Structures are given as C-alpha cells and as structure tokens.
Structure 1
Amino acid sequence: MEYMNIINQIIILFLIIIVGFIAGKNKIISQEANVTLSKILLNITLPFLIISAFNFDFSKNMLKTAVTILIISIFVHGTLSIVSLILYKKQEEGVRKVLRFITIFSNCGFIGYPVAGSIYGSEGIFYAAIYNVGFNIFVWTIGILIFQSGNVKGKGLLRKVFINPGIISVSIGMTLFVFSIKLPYVISETIKLIGNITIPLSMIIVGVSLCGTSLKSAFKEGVYYYASFFRLVLVPLVVYFILTLFKFKGIYLGIPLIVSAMPAAANTVTFAQIYNGDVSCATKITIVSTIFSAITLPLMVLLLK
C-alpha cells in the first residue's frame, strides 16, 4: 500500500475517534453506555473479527510467519517488563505502577487491529492477533503483578491468561486455519459482518473515553509527556532498529512496529480500578498518549516506506 494511502487510512480512524468524542460531549453516548459498548467489543465483535481474519487457506509460510511474530511479541513484552523496572523511580508508587504498565502494554486491540487491518488488510489483523497472544500472556501475569506487587493467586491467574476472549478466538481461528476447516457460507458471513463492526466501534469507544476526563488537567503533568514519548516514540524505534538489525522486513517488521507504536493499552484504567492503581493517572496517560499518537503513528509508519 502506498504511504499516502496508509496515512489516509489512519486519518479516517482518527476522524471516527472525533465522532466518538463529539457523541460523548453531547451525551449521545454516556460513559456508562461506553462501558457496555466496550464489553460488546471485547466479548463479541473483536473475537469475531479475529476468527474471520484466520479465513485463509493453510500455508506453511503463514504459519512460520505467525510463530516468528509470536516469538517477537514475547521478546518485546519480556524486554519491556525488565526495562520498566528502572523507570519512573521518582514517582509515587500508584503512579509508578500505572506508568510501568503503559510502558509495557500498548493499545494493540482497540487501535492496533484497525491500523494493522488498514495497512495490511485481513492478513494484518491475522498477524496482529498472533502478536496479541504475547500481549495477553504478559498482561494477565506481569500486568497484574505490577499492580498487586506479587499478591496473586496462581489458579485464577492461569485462568485469565488462557481463558479470555482474545486467546479463545485466536485458538478457534488457528484451528480453522491449520486444519483448513471451511465454515458454511451463512456462518462465515455472519462472523465477518459482526467482526467488521469492530473497527468503527473501537474508534468511537476511544473517542467517548477521551471526553470523560478534563483534557486541561491531563496535559499539566510533565511525567505524562515523558511516559508518552517512551511509549509512542522510543519503544517503537528500538523495536524497529533491533528487528532491522536482524534483517527482518515486510510484515515481520511492520506488525511489531505498528503495534509497538500504539498508545497506552485500553485496559490500563480497568486494571488500575480493579487492582488499586492510580485511576486518575491511568485515565490521563491514556488520554495524553492517544492524542499524541495521532502525530507519532504516521511518523512511525513512515519507517515502513
């Protein structure tokens, strides 16, 4: 895809975010309704999008690429988990936990899938879903450990790692792909139509979320600029240079770079609420990083030109 076409696709996604923001500001969609929309997305439309993205004829090359991207995802999340330990030491504990979390975890679902799909089509969503397996493994282990400081019950933790909509849908999709199982037309089209709701819905949800907190107060804290720079610029640049050093190119390079360049993970606020983190900090850094990503994301995509 030509670079300007990629930029146009990204602009379209951010225009939908603006539509969501306007809908939120005018009380067309309340914050409570937005929570419900998020649940619909996470539990229905996104899993269907992932399953439909696996609708390819089996190919050893695609399987090899998928395994490679999963290994890259595990390497990136593992490395960031270690690096985050030495960052933000001057911050209050609640804030430090949130900033460590967003350093490791990007918004690879809500924004990552739409952008990957816009650039690479269904194949992009397929590989983004594979990359997201690494995300899920780390977010339900390291992510919880960050907030709970090691006070985690193993059985419940394992259940969350392996039994969640993302992992289940990838497992179903991978089974269909590897064994070349073709669903009946009416079922596959139903899954595809519901899955296609995900991209505009996810952008609207992000837009509504942005109007839930004072933008003025979010931009007053310098640490949010620092954390956003790390999340949006430094992390993807390091990922880019390491992968190019090892001669990765094409989709091997594109998917990890795109996903790494995403703003703070959409579930940052949810984790802060559930596991006693600083909810105000989580909300503000999510807002600041999402807004700045409108500038930084096209610049990161330029590296793929």
Structure 2
Amino acid sequence: MLLQSIQGVLVIIVMVAVGYYLASLHWFSESSKKLIAKIVTQVALPPYMIVSITKDFTKSELVKLLPNLWYPVLSMFILMGISWLVARIIQVDPKRHGLFMSMFFNSNTVFVGLPINLAIFGDKSLPYVLVYYMANTTIFWTLGVYFIQRDSSNHVQMNFKDALRKIFSAPLLGFMIGIVLIVLNIKLPNFLMSSFNYLGGLTIPLSMLFIGISVYDAGLKNMRFQKDNLGVLSGRFIFAPIIMALLVLPSHMPMMMKEVFILQSCMPVMTNAPVVAQLYDADADFASIMVTETTLLSLVMVPIMMTILSH
C-alpha cells in the first residue's frame, strides 16, 4: 500500500511539475487558466462522474453508501468549532477571520482529492470520493461562503439562488444523473458512453496542470509560515484527519471508504477560496498563498497518511 501511494503521489507531482514548467514559459494567461478550470468542472467532470458511477456502482451499493454522508458533515461541523477556537487563541487578523475558518474546515475534494484517490486506490474509490464531495461542496457554498462574506467591508451578499447554483454544480449534477441511471436501470448507448469516457479522461491531467499553474502564479517566494498560515495548516493536516479518523475507524464501513474519507479530509484549501475572497473583498492574497502552501504540503502529507493508515 505504501509503495502504491508513493507511486500515486509521484504521478501527481510529475503532472503538477509540467503545469508549473509550462506556466514558467508564460504559456498561460489568467483567462486561459480560468478556461482550464471551466473545462474541468463543466465539461470533463460531469461525464467522468456518469461513466464511473454507472460502471462501478450498483443500486444496493448506493443504498449502503449514501447514509455515510453524515460522517464528513459531522467532521466539518466539529472542525468549524475548532477553527473558531484556534482563531481566538492565535488571534487571527479580524479582516480574515471568516476566511481563516472557511479554509480550516473545507477540503479541495475535486482538483486534488479526486486524482490523488484515483491514483492510489483506483476507480473503486470514486463513489467514496463523491460522497465526501457532496458534503464538502454543500458546506463550502453555504457556511464557508457565509464566513468569508463576514470579512467583507462592502457587505456584498450572495443570494439564495446563487448559493443553490453553486451547490448544484456541473460535477454534482453529473453525479446525480449517474445515480438516476443506476436507480432506473437505464443503459446509455455505447457511442454516448465512449464519448463521455474520452471527455472524462481530461479530468485528472487538466486538474494537475491547473494546480501547477496556480502554484507558479501564487509564487513560491510568497510562502510564509506565520501564525495565521500555521493555523490553517494545522486545520487541514492535523485536526481534520484526526477528527475524521476518530469518527470512521470504529465504524463498520469498508476499509477503503475509511481511508478515502481520511485522505479527503486532509486535502488542501479549496481553489475556489481566493475567487470567493476576491468577490467579497476579503483577503484574497492570503487565500491564494494558503492554496499554494497546502497544495504543496499535501504532496508530502499523502505518503505520510498512507504510511499511518497501512499500519
């Protein structure tokens, strides 16, 4: 398992390094970076979800799987409380208090979590990744955004319609379509499934290129290990996996599901955090730096976590 996890992480590092190198050659503008993110989330991920779920998922497995949604939800609510406490103890800058909390309890479950889990565990892990993703994306676009919004000096408000649109994103809709197809026992035509398969194949490499570009744009020289940064790092890589492990290890869920949930819990800060911070006039620079720091450190943390889990 350890060798498999190391090889999985090396695959990810190579693709991230390619993105970083191409960004250093100035191949990408800000608009092309946004285009890559849009292609991944709106073009590649939905068909990837449909193909993978209908291929590796049965109706009986669905009934067993969805009740486990409460594990990531509960863990994030516990982390929310811990984030408030840590922010008070280390006296986080009031201008980034809500952003700090949001980054503390939310994970990057798609751009980093999905490819890392697939590289380590294979396609069988996808349903477990998606259960965590459902909880994570819902909480980020409601409570996570609400906390970031509180840092705003201009009091921009996200309305209910916008929040719903963000929660029911293209990847989640792809997941839901896959579930409907399984429940109704509908088989899509081969030509359609093949098309979805090819489009879905873009997901992992483009996600990794995107991360490499983001790391280059944020600038490694901007990495700082000050108290606010260390607070977010403690949330992502210490508190999150410990809380999740305490919740899932005593349970009767499959071992792979336990490992996926623990890995998903300690993924980096969501790539949406700087975008939302910019929108609400919060500290977008701090969010960008934390995305970079946590993304780089996650590549070190994953082999460590897999070593611990394999014992």
TM-score, scaled to structure 2? 0.90
Q: Deviations over 1:115-166 (max 9, x none)?
A: 12122322212221122111121111101210223955334433433x3213
Provide the aligned C-alpha RMSD in A: 2.0
8 Å contact kept, 2:36–2:210: yes
Tell me, in whole angstroms, the C-alpha distance in 2 between the residues paired with 1:294 and 1:49: 24
Tell me, in whole angstroms, the C-alpha distance in 2 between the residues paired with 1:61 and 1:175: 13
Question: What's the counterpart of residue 25 of structure 1?
Answer: 24
> Mind listing any 5+ residue stretches in structure 1 that lack a counterpart?
none
1:247 Cα deviation (Å)?
A: 5.0
Tell me, in whole angstroms, the C-alpha distance in 2 between the residues paired with 1:18 and 1:69: 35
Q: Which amino acid aligns with 1:111?
A: V
The 10-residue stretch of structure 1 (38-47 or 73-82) with the greater mean CA deviation from structure 2: 73-82
Cα 1:234–1:178, aligned 2, differ >3 Å: closer, same or farther?
Answer: same
Q: Which amino acid aligns with 2:110?
A: G
Matches for 1:121-270 after TM superposition, within 5 Å: 121-149=122-150, 151-161=157-167, 163-219=168-224, 221-270=226-275
Tell me, in whole angstroms, the C-alpha distance in 2 between the residues paired with 1:132 and 1:226: 23
Tell me, in whole angstroms, the C-alpha distance in 1 between the residues paired with 2:53 and 2:281: 37
Aligned length: 303
1:243 Cα deviation (Å)?
A: 1.6
Q: Deviations over 1:165-196 (max 9, x none)?
A: 13211110111122222111111011111111
Tell me, in whole angstroms, the C-alpha distance in 2 between the residues paired with 1:231 and 1:5: 23
TM-score, scaled to structure 1? 0.92
Tell me, in whole angstroms, the C-alpha distance in 1 between the residues paired with 2:214 and 2:57: 39
Question: What's the counterpart of residue 303 of structure 1?
Answer: 308
Tell me, in whole angstroms, the C-alpha distance in 1 between the residues paired with 2:79 and 2:225: 26
Where 2:238 maps in the other structure, the secondary structure is helix
Question: What's the counterpart of residue 67 of structure 1?
Answer: 66
Where 1:264 maps in the other structure, the secondary structure is coil
The 10-residue stretch of structure 1 (102-111 or 246-255) with the greater mean CA deviation from structure 2: 246-255
8 Å contact kept, 1:81–1:142: no
> Mind listing any 5+ residue stretches in structure 2 that lack a counterpart?
none
Q: Which amino acid aligns with 2:142?
A: T
Aligned-pair identity (%): 22
Cα 1:114–1:181, aligned 2, differ >3 Å: closer, same or farther?
Answer: same
8 Å contact kept, 2:141–2:166: yes
8 Å contact kept, 2:37–2:210: yes
